[in-house]
């Protein structure tokens, strides 16, 4: 572990206040990404606070002029994967998401609710969920999402495609599990997958 | 690969090249934006205020033990 105690002194006061300002500006986005990843608002906010402290500690590694949102998302993602492996999150979803009607497509009896979408999202494997969140909700390009997740662009495209297909299917059939990970087998599978993702092996092993 | 490159930051760009975005696609943005637009809880304002008093070098040491275990592919239970 290298101690780069002096490097932060190289930053000008202006750069430091720029960093603080930019970090402050991305907090709402960090909260939104975290909420999508782990579902429960309180845990999501804990994750964001942890991310802010880590980002602050690592600020001399931030390159001014690059995307603060992308940089902090990487930190948040790593913190999330670590916490997931410590079993802090069990895929619980936000009970507070309004039962708001999202869309009532013609020819379908049941309208789609935002809460259905949210719950369906939380049933996806972590790597597909994060890919879809980054691209479909956060508005990142495939290239940016790939950089955040540390994988190939094609991998991100494939994950987004699979995530979309799975959500479409679930929403069309109304087959949304109430709780994704009550089942211990499913939970173990998720954790094993997280090991892969965190180790950067997600690229080769699945598309 | 053959999809046309677009420079605007619209992440849904790929969906326009032939594939129609699913009808719920907008809901994903709604979920995200609804959180972005929430008023920031005081706990965040407090934390952001406190950051200036935290020396990054010392915070780094404190956070060091929490560093993400990148590349440590432990599979054991």
pLDDT, tens only, A23-32: 999 999 999 9
Q: Which range has highest mean pLDDT (A23-27, A121-125, B29-33)?
A: A23-27
Is the CB of B4 inside 8 Å of chain A's CB atoms? Answer: no
Helix (H) or strand (E) holding A142: helix A142-149
Catalogue the E-assigned strands of A57-134.
Answer: 101-103, 112-113
In chain B, positions 33-52, which contact chain A (CB-CB < 8 Å)?
33, 35-38, 40-41, 43-44, 47-48, 51-52
What residue spans in chain A does CATH classification 1.10.10.10 cover?
101-199
Contact A149, A156 (CB under 8 A): yes
Burial class of residue A184 in the structure, from the number of CB atoms within 10 Å of its CB (0-12 exposed, 13-18 middle, 19+ buried): exposed
Q: B21 pLDDT exceeds 50?
A: yes
Asked: is A101-199 a CATH 1.20.210.10 domain? The reply is no
pLDDT, tens only, A63-85: 999 999 999 999 999 999 888 77
State the pLDDT at residue A173.
80
What residue spans in chain A does CATH classification 1.10.1740.10 cover?
14-85
- Distance in angstroms (rounded) separating the CA atoms of residues B36 and A139: 13
Size of interface A-B (CB pairs under 8 A): 156
Q: Which residue has the higher pLDDT, B13 or A147?
A: A147
Q: Which residues of B touch A27 (CB under 8 A)?
A: 40, 44, 48
Which of B21-25, B33-37, B62-66 is the least confident region?
B62-66
Note the CATH architecture for domain A14-85.
Answer: Orthogonal Bundle (1.10)
> Closest residue of A to B51, CA-based?
A56
> Closest residue of B to A142, CA-based?
B11
Q: Can you tell me the ipTM of this complex?
A: 0.73
Write the DSSP assignment of A12-53 as a string of letters: -HHHHHHHHHHHHHHHHHHHHHHHHHH--HHHHHHHHHHHHH
Identify the domain containing residue B37 by its residue range.
20-56
State the pLDDT at residue B24.
84
State the pLDDT at residue A23.
97
Q: Which of B22, A177, B63 is nearest to B12 (CA)?
A: B22
State the pLDDT at residue B56.
78
Which of A100-109, A147-156, B17-26 is the least confident region?
A100-109
Rounded average pLDDT over A185-200: 60
Whose structure tokens read 């990970």? A181
């Amino acid at each position: 572990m290298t101690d780069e105690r002096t490097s932060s002194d190289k930053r000008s006061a202006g750069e430091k206040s720029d960093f603080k300002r930019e970090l402050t500006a991305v907090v709402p986005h960090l909260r939104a990404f975290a909420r999508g990843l782990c579902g429960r608002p309180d845990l999501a906010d804990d994750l964001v606070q942890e991310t802010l402290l880590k980002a602050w500690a690592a600020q001399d590694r931030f390159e001014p002029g690059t995307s603060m949102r992308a940089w902090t998302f990487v930190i948040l993602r790593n913190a999330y994967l670590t916490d997931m492996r410590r079993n802090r999150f069990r895929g619980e979803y936000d009970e507070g998401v309004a039962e708001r009607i999202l869309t009532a497509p013609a020819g379908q009896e049941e309208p789609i609710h935002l809460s259905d979408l949210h719950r369906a999202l939380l049933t996806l494997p972590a790597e597909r969920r994060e890919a879809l969140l980054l691209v479909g909700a956060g508005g990142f390009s495939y290239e940016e999402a790939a950089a955040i997740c540390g994988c190939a662009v094609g991998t991100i495209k494939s994950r987004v495609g699979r995530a979309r297909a799975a959500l479409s299917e679930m929403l069309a059939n109304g087959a949304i599990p109430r709780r994704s990970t009550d089942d211990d087998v499913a939970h173990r599978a998720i954790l094993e997958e997280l090991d892969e993702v965190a180790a950067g092996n997600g690229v080769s092993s699945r598309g | 690969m053959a999809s046309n490159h677009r420079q605007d930051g619209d992440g849904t760009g790929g969906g326009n090249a032939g594939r129609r975005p699913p009808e719920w696609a907008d809901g994903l943005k709604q979920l995200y934006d609804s959180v972005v637009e929430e008023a920031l809880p005081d706990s965040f304002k407090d934390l952001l205020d406190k950051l200036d008093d935290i020396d990054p070098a010392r915070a780094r040491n404190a956070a060091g033990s929490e560093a993400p275990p990148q590349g440590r592919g432990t599979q054991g239970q």
